Amino acid sequence: MVKTQSLKRDLGLVCSLILNIFFLFKVGGEWNLSWSKRAASEAEAVAAISCSGHGRAYLDGLVLDGNEGPACECNTCYGGPDCSQFFPDCAVNADGGDPLFLEPFWMQQAASSALLVAGWHRMSYSYGDQSTISQELERHIRKLHDIVGNAATEGRYVVFGAGSTQLLNAAVYALSPDNSSSPARVVASIPFYPVYELQTDIFNSVDFQFQGDTSLWKNKSDSDTEVIEFVTSPNNPDGQLNKAVLHGPNVKAIHDHAYYWPHFTAIPAPADSDVMVFTLSKLTGHAGSRFGWAIIKDKVIYQRMVTYIALNTMGVSRDTQLRALKLIKVVLATGGRGIFEFGHETMRKRWEKMNKLISTSKRFSLQKVIPEYCNYFQKIRGASPAYAWLKCEKQEDKHCFAVLQAVANITGRQGSLFYAEDRYVRLSLIRSQDDFDLLLHKVNELVVGEEGPQTM
């Protein structure tokens, strides 16, 4: 009797398990979602909030009193509960480097780029191989560089960081001498990205010191001094494909290739340097994910950088690595064509409009970007830099940043931050379409008094 009841109970459990498995599938073998339904519904509901096309709502956005969902976060010069109010007298933000020009591309890829993660995903400090680097993500990064042709990866080591920012200082640390009576001199060619100096100084290390412009070290005869040169290609702020200036047994270089993607520049050849740094933010536009990687030739330098990252942050967030993997898979699905054609076309049009406008001015000028043959697109391609490096040409306009603010209510980034003259100011071309349209409108107002209204 007892055995019969036990058999019936076991059969019941087996039948229940079979039924549960059956109902988990739809016709065609697709999974019927269970615990993920609510999260998916929440994500789609928030993504459907239009914010009048001039803002976005986010899952982690602020929920105001009386609201069921997160509030809209409005673009510059827009406001109100649904971002429908336009404020024509506001200051135009052309300062930041947020690559929001790629947001429309990712909205078109809503299904393929979406990511839903279980609450118990990757809770450990490390992966199964006890490392802090996703082997699958590394494999996809190598494949991406091979397809784009912008970096040599065979026989090289790859290290991940929290954006390129963390990797830049990790590289300085790794290249600096140990127990030396003389610290390494860190230099860069003017105009250069301000973080090189700011980050080197803030660590106040006895092993390295920032020493300013590379040209000051061209004729130095001190053969005992270690020099680390930042080489930015394409350069931030002027988009030039810079090359190393200094050479010699005591000179080491860190090649910052954040913008070396087909959105922003022709790819004439694969970068093939000892230390090369890349970032997800300028590849896919996801600056907030804080993910970058370095490609290293020397094993000792690689190991020193890995040690730096491990002690600094214990590696990169596993959630961030998962998202980076998902995004790069989307990029690779079309061999990069989808995002690079969209990105280049957007940036090319923006540059052409800005360049056409400024070319009519006698008060302002822009940097010259020479078209080059691009191995990725297999043709000579037009310029599409991330930034306009604007110069005030009038003798009295010694502080171009102040001129733009006073006359046109444009906030750029002043030239002195890049070690250049304050006759220069950097204007970001990579922000949202609203930001660019407002910037173009304000720049047009600047040249109206010189040549009359311009057609944009």
Residue 298 CA: distances (Å) to CA of 156, 175, 301, 324: 8, 11, 5, 25
Contact call for residues 265 and 247 (beta carbons, < 8 A): no
| pLDDT (mean) for 52-77 | 91
As a whole number of angstroms, the distance between CA 35 and CA 192 comes to 50
What is the average pLDDT score of the chain? 91
- At position 222, the amino acid (one-letter code) is D
How does pLDDT run across 131-150, given as a tens digit for each residue?
A: 999 999 999 999 999 999 99
Residue 158 CA: distances (Å) to CA of 68, 155, 262, 396: 44, 10, 21, 50
User: What pLDDT, on the 0 to 100 scale, is given for residue 448?
Assistant: 82
Burial, 368: exposed, middle or buried (Cβ in 10 Å; 0-12, 13-18, 19+)? Answer: exposed
Beta strands in 146-243 (DSSP E): 157-161, 184-188, 208-213, 227-232
How does pLDDT run across 292-318, given as a tens digit for each residue?
A: 999 999 999 999 999 999 999 999 999
CATH number attached to the domain at 135-333? 3.40.640.10
* β pairing state of 251-256 and 227-232: parallel
How does pLDDT run across 358-379, given as a tens digit for each residue?
A: 999 999 999 999 999 999 999 9
How does pLDDT run across 304-353, given as a tens digit for each residue?
A: 999 999 999 999 999 999 999 999 999 999 999 999 999 999 999 999 99
Question: For the chain, how many residues are written?
Answer: 456
Task: Tell me the HSE value of 43 on the side-chain side, using a 13 A CA sphere.
Answer: 12
Helix, strand, or coil (residue 161): strand
Helix, strand, or coil (residue 402): helix
3-state SS string over 337-392? HHHHHHHHHHHHHHHHHHHHHHHCCCCEECCCCCCEEECCCCEEECCCCCEEEEEE
Q: Is residue 285 very low, low, confident or very high in pLDDT (cuts 50, 70, 90)?
A: very high
Statement: residue 442 has pLDDT above 90:
yes
User: What pLDDT, on the 0 to 100 scale, is given for residue 224?
Assistant: 78
How does pLDDT run across 166-221, given as a tens digit for each residue?
A: 999 999 999 999 877 889 999 999 999 999 999 999 988 999 999 999 999 987 75
pTM of the model: 0.91
- Look-up: residue for tokens 């009359």? 452
Statement: residue 67 has pLDDT above 90:
no
Task: Tell me the HSE value of 280 on the side-chain side, using a 13 A CA sphere.
Answer: 28
Statement: residue 84 has pLDDT above 70:
yes
Buried residues in 284-316 as b, exposed as e (16+ CB within 10 A): bbbbebbbbbbbbeeeebbebbbebbeeeeebb
User: What pLDDT, on the 0 to 100 scale, is given for residue 223?
Assistant: 67
CATH match of 34-89 with 3.60.130.10 = no
How does pLDDT run across 389-406, given as a tens digit for each residue?
A: 999 999 999 999 999 999
Any bridge partners for residue 106, and if so which? none
Q: How far apart are the first and last CA of the chain?
A: 90
As a whole number of angstroms, the distance between CA 158 and CA 133 comes to 9
pLDDT over 70, % of the chain: 91
Q: Which tokens in the block code for residue 191?
A: 């105009």
Domain ranges of the chain: 1-32, 34-89, 135-333, 337-455
Please give the torsion angle defined by the CA atoms of residues 112, 116, 121 and 126, in that order, rounded to the nearest 10 degrees. Answer: 40
User: What pLDDT, on the 0 to 100 scale, is given for residue 27?
Assistant: 43
Q: Is residue 68 very low, low, confident or very high in pLDDT (cuts 50, 70, 90)?
A: confident
- 337-455 folds as Aspartate Aminotransferase, domain 1 (3.90.1150)
pLDDT over 90, % of the chain: 84
Please name the residue ranges forming H helices in 24-102.
Answer: 37-47
| pLDDT (mean) for 245-249 | 93
- Look-up: residue for tokens 């913008």? 259
Cis peptide before 191 (omega within 30 of 0): yes
Cis peptide before 234 (omega within 30 of 0): yes
Statement: residue 19 has pLDDT above 70:
no
Buried residues in 319-331 as b, exposed as e (16+ CB within 10 A): ebbbbbbbbbbbb
